[in-house]
Amino acid sequence: MSASDFRQEFIEFAVNRNVLCFGEFKTKAGRMSPYFFNAGLFNDGNSLYKIGQFYAKAILAAELPFDMLFGPAYKGIPLVSATTIALSESGNNYSFCFNRKEIKDHGEGGSVVGSSLVGKVLIVDDVISAGVSVHESFSFIQASGAIPCGVIIALDRMERGRGSLSAAQEVRQIYGIPVISIVNLDNIVSYLQGRSDMALNLSAVEKYREQYGVT
């Protein structure tokens, strides 16, 4: 399966799960967006298995070298678990871990569950909005003596934040690490262009992109 094929397949999967919806939705920035993505609806065994497969395909397609994966609590925990299993099924066995929000003071203790943070670490998350989660993960990984080497997310909206850059571009600029996405706004537009029944949605997305998009 080519890179373009799995990205279009992911969009169809997300639409069928109502994870990717089209209409009118108010964003945190107060903008009226013509589409909305809610990764929290990957909420059963079948959908979690499939989302792990898509993360794995995007990671392998990017050919980014890394030693292990890290999922920031809380949404990153099931995502990194599913992704690690999917990578293993394709013959790529990696260790992984996630953090606790509160440090455990009994039993094994500490703030990390899973493998110790070592080497080059790929962060697995759902989306990047204000970049807060990435900042916390970056600091957490560095404090453990490991090296954050990239971020993999489900969707890059390719949309300006407070300045002229998108959230993903700001991460690249501030931390000097790549941001990989399963799909981005270009892929969504391509999907809509192939759906004659969604011409109005395509028009709304293109107008929104003209107003808030980045290249």
Active site residue 106: yes
Active-site residue among 26, 104, 135, 207?
104
CA dist list (Å): 136 to 116, 175, 189, 209: 17, 12, 32, 29
Active site residue 120: no
Active-site residue among 28, 75, 106, 120?
106
CB within 8 Å of 66: residues ≥ 6 apart: 94, 119, 120, 121, 122, 149, 150
**Sign of the torsion angle spanned by Cα atoms 23, 50, 70, 74:** positive
Locate 200 and state its tokens. Answer: 């109005």
Q: Residue 144 gets which letter from DSSP?
A: T
Q: In 13-51, which positions are buried (b, 16+ CB within 10 angstroms) versus exposed (e)? A: bbbebebbbbeeeeeeeeeebbbebbbeebeeeebbebb
Beta bridge partners of 173: none
CB within 8 Å of 3: residues ≥ 6 apart: 57, 61
C-alpha span between 5 and 65 (Å, rounded)? 23
Q: Residue 188's CB: how many other CB atoms inside 10 A?
A: 26
Catalytic residues: 104, 106
